[in-house]
Every structure is written in structure tokens, then in C-alpha cells.
């Protein structure tokens, strides 16, 4: 049975009850149920929550082919996408040898 705490909020009003989980992690994945009852009986409904994690980093060492005015960087895909399609990558660089 869930209770209100610093991460879990259960609110009710105007015929609506809401469960809010803050700072969710993969450990929050699972089947959540709500049971209602009155003098006519009891009924339970369930909802499943799947919390996926971040993707793994690309595999192996990136390959860099430097040209005169450009560079091409290639790498192997992540073995685990975190449960969602990877929609982009960010590349960072820094100058190691510069005469400037």
C-alpha cells in the first residue's frame, strides 16, 4: 500500500484520485492497482508502469578522419537504447595543440 511521502503524492477531489511519483527510477516499474469499495462490493483496476533508463554510451573507440576543412567522426551504436529510439547525439571537442 502506497503512502504519501517525499516522492509519492496521492490526492483526491471532485471524484478524481491521482497518484504522482516524483524522481522515478526503473525500480518504480511495475503493476499498480487501485481498489474501490462500497456497500455493493469491491472492484480493482490495474495499470502497468514501465520506466526505462538512459541509453548505454556508444561502443568502442570513435574513428576520426580529418580533412583540410572538415572531420568525420564515426562510432558504433549503443547496445542498449534505454527503451526508446535514440534521436540524437552530442559531440564535444577541445583544442589540444594550438598556436593561437
Residue spans per domain, the chain: 8-49
What pLDDT does residue 98 have? 63
pTM greater than 0.85 (yes/no): no
Distance of CA 74 to the CA centre of its chain: 25
CA dihedral sign of residues 55, 57, 59, 62? positive
> Are 4 and 18 spatial neighbours (Cβ–Cβ below 8 Å)?
no
48-82 pLDDT per residue, tens: 999 988 899 888 899 999 999 999 999 998 888 98
Average pLDDT over every residue of 8-23: 93
Q: Give the pLDDT band of residue 10 (cuts 50, 70, 90).
A: very high
CA dihedral sign of residues 78, 27, 30, 48? negative
The DSSP secondary structure of 18-41, one letter per residue, reads EEEE-S--GGG-EEEEEEEEETTE
Amino acid at each position: 500500500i502506497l503512502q504519501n511521502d517525499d516522492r509519492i503524492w496521492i490526492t483526491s477531489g471532485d471524484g478524481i484520485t491521482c497518484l504522482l511519483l516524483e524522481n522515478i527510477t526503473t525500480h518504480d516499474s511495475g503493476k499498480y492497482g487501485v481498489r474501490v469499495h462500497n456497500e455493493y462490493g469491491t472492484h480493482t483496476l490495474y495499470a502497468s508502469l514501465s520506466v526505462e533508463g538512459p541509453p548505454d554510451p556508444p561502443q568502442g573507440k570513435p574513428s576520426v578522419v580529418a580533412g583540410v576543412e572538415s572531420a568525420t567522426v564515426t562510432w558504433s551504436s549503443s547496445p542498449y537504447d534505454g527503451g526508446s529510439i535514440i534521436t540524437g547525439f552530442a559531440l564535444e571537442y577541445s583544442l589540444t595543440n594550438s598556436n593561437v
